[in-house]
Amino acid sequence: MGALARLITMLENRASESSVILERIYPATGHAHVIGITGPPGAGKSTLVNRLIAKYRALGKSVAILAIDPSSPFSGGAVLGDRVRMTDHYKDSGVYIRSISTRGSHGGLSRATREIVKLLDAYGNDVIIIETVGVGQTELSIMDLADTTVVVTVPEGGDSVQVMKAGLNEIADVFVVNKADREGSDRMKAELEHNVHLRPAGGWRPPVVMTQAVADQGIDAVIAAIGKHREWLRQSRDGAREAERRTHEFIEVLTSELEERAERALKAGTVPDILARVKAGELNPYSAARRLIEDRDSIRELLQNGGPK
């Protein structure tokens, strides 16, 4: 576990060796089922995840949890909040829990999360759960990494569901109405089921599952719904969707790699004349970038010097 933790830290910190690490472990990926858990704050996502961990472990599956946390405005560290409930599993060698701070990032967080998921997959985990803090754009982009996305709502969250309905309807594979003992839960279930029926015919129809995570009720139904969706994915393997996902990943990796290599090389003093003129205000950034890109020798030197040592 210590080696895995160190590798994840390297990916988070964008170490120059990150790409080499991912390139080497990539052939060992593609076996884990990646489950995304999202929904508004206070919906009980962490309690639900805690219950899911226990259920999957009872089935003999190894589980990794990647918790996406808001960062502290002072330290930049991850704020665990109510994830202390997961401490029940910390001593279990079949469970790995890691928190990642958002640190105000967007695209970078998405890439880091994707790479860490690949690492956890290659490490042999059967189930990887990504839990996000809410349903903002950052969270929705991270959900693109999941094979199955579970959207958790609560009865009193009706107004927020109305606002977010379009986004939720697009990403949800399973809806969970948690705290189902509260007033309005049946109405929420009916509303979500109506929303599901507005989806185009012929595709997956997300089930709506009622739970009381605190009381460990309805969790087996969530596990079953996730399992049915995974089986549906296997039977309706969409080659075009897989190709699009791989293309998106390639473009993301390529653009990030170019950016990181350029930044490292410039800090190391490559093409000092152009950088000095930009700093002095003699050359604007756009003209400088165009000149650098159009000079093949300079761009080759820049990328080579910014690569892993």
Classify 78 as helix, strand or coil.
Answer: strand
* Last residue within a domain, chosen from 205, 237, 269: 237
Both tokens of 113, joined, read 């999360």
Verify that 105 and 75 share a domain, yes or no. Answer: yes
Residue 91: the pLDDT is: 77
Q: 9-13, 46-50, 164-168, 299-303: which has the highest mean pLDDT?
A: 46-50
Verify that 56 and 197 share a domain, yes or no. Answer: yes
Verify that 274 and 226 share a domain, yes or no. Answer: no
Chain position carrying tokens 């594979």: 173
Q: Rounded distance, CA 24 to CA 102, Å?
A: 26
**Strand ranges in 33-134 using DSSP code E only, listed in sequence order:** 33-38, 63-69, 95-101, 127-131
Both tokens of 20, joined, read 């080499």
Q: Rounded distance, CA 250 to CA 70, Å?
A: 27
**What average pLDDT score do residues 58-67 get?**
95
Verify that 62 and 118 share a domain, yes or no. Answer: yes
What 3 state SS string does 51-67 have? HHHHHHHHCCCCEEEEE
* Residue numbers of the domain that contains 282: 243-305
Verify that 178 and 260 share a domain, yes or no. Answer: no
Verify that 53 and 143 share a domain, yes or no. Answer: yes
The structure's pTM equals 0.83
Verify that 138 and 10 share a domain, yes or no. Answer: yes
Classify 309 as helix, strand or coil.
Answer: coil
Both tokens of 142, joined, read 């991270």
The amino acid occupying position 112 is A
Residue 82: the pLDDT is: 44
Q: Does residue 303 carry a pLDDT above 50?
A: yes
pLDDT, greater one: 54 or 81: 54
Convert the pLDDT of each residue in 220-252 to its tens digit.
999 999 999 999 988 887 667 778 878 888 888
Both tokens of 271, joined, read 């093409």
Both tokens of 180, joined, read 């189902």
Convert the pLDDT of each residue in 177-209 to its tens digit.
999 999 989 988 998 888 888 777 778 899 999
* Last residue within a domain, chosen from 188, 205, 237: 237
Confidence of residue 148 (pLDDT cuts 50, 70, 90): very high
Q: Does residue 264 carry a pLDDT above 50?
A: yes
The gap between the terminal CA atoms of the chain, to the nearest Å, is 26
Both tokens of 187, joined, read 């109405």
Count of domains forming the chain: 2
Verify that 105 and 51 share a domain, yes or no. Answer: yes
Torsion on CA atoms 229, 232, 234, 239, rounded to nearest 10: -110
Q: What percentage of residues in the chain have a pLDDT greater than 70?
A: 83
Verify that 101 and 79 share a domain, yes or no. Answer: yes
Verify that 215 and 260 share a domain, yes or no. Answer: no
How far, in Å, are 133, 176, 238 from residue 70 at the CA level? Answer: 7, 23, 34
Q: What percentage of residues in the chain have a pLDDT greater than 90?
A: 37
* Last residue within a domain, chosen from 197, 213, 237: 237
Verify that 276 and 144 share a domain, yes or no. Answer: no
CATH of the domain at 127: 3.40.50.300
Per DSSP, 40 falls in state: S
Q: Is the dihedral of CA 199, 200, 201, 203 positive or negative?
A: negative
Verify that 256 and 233 share a domain, yes or no. Answer: no
Q: Give Cβ neighbours of residue 254 (< 8 Å, ≥ 6 apart).
A: none
Q: Supply the DSSP string of 249-292, one letter for each residue.
A: HHHHHHHHHHHHHHHHHHHTTSSHHHHHHHHHTSS-HHHHHHHH
